[in-house]
Amino acid sequence: MAGQLDSLLKSVAKQIVSDLGNSLDTTITYVKKGISSYNVDTGEQITVDTTYSDIKAPIEFIRSSEDDNREIRQAKIYITPDLIGDNQPNLEDEVSFSYAGSTVTGIITDIDTKRGGQTYLFTLFVRF
């Protein structure tokens, strides 16, 4: 029974994110940062990132404040695991989206994971 409920919750979350993302016409680009390695021979730090483009995901703009004469904006972005290759988001990843006619890159400051026996929804708190 618990497995069936988890599957139902995952399916519903996926459908809601898809429907809201499509109806709100909000698209994000998610960059999953890879593991860094150091090449001793060349002296270079190498990281292979994976980019997931044109993801339809709902964005909730939650706060805009000023700090030292700089405007700081915060948003919540709702995504399901399948949209980012069934990966777990982390704070090093990046999210780009359109805001006020420009493309901005947000810094993930917190991640809320909804799960049962399986993960079905991530809420990303983003500062940009």
Question: For 71-118, how does the pLDDT look when each residue is reduced to its tens digit (9 = 90+)?
Answer: 889 999 999 999 999 999 999 999 999 998 899 999 999 999 998 778
Q: Are 98 and 82 in contact (CB under 8 A)?
A: no
Nearest-5° Cα angle at 63, 116 to 74: 60
Residue 27 has which token pair? Answer: 């698209």
For 13, the enclosing helix (H) or strand (E) is helix 2-24
> Of 12, 30, 13, 36, nearest to 90 (Cα)?
30
* 3 vs 8, residue with greater confidence: 8
* 5 vs 127, residue with greater confidence: 127
| HSE (side-chain half, CA atoms, 13 Å) at 50 | 11
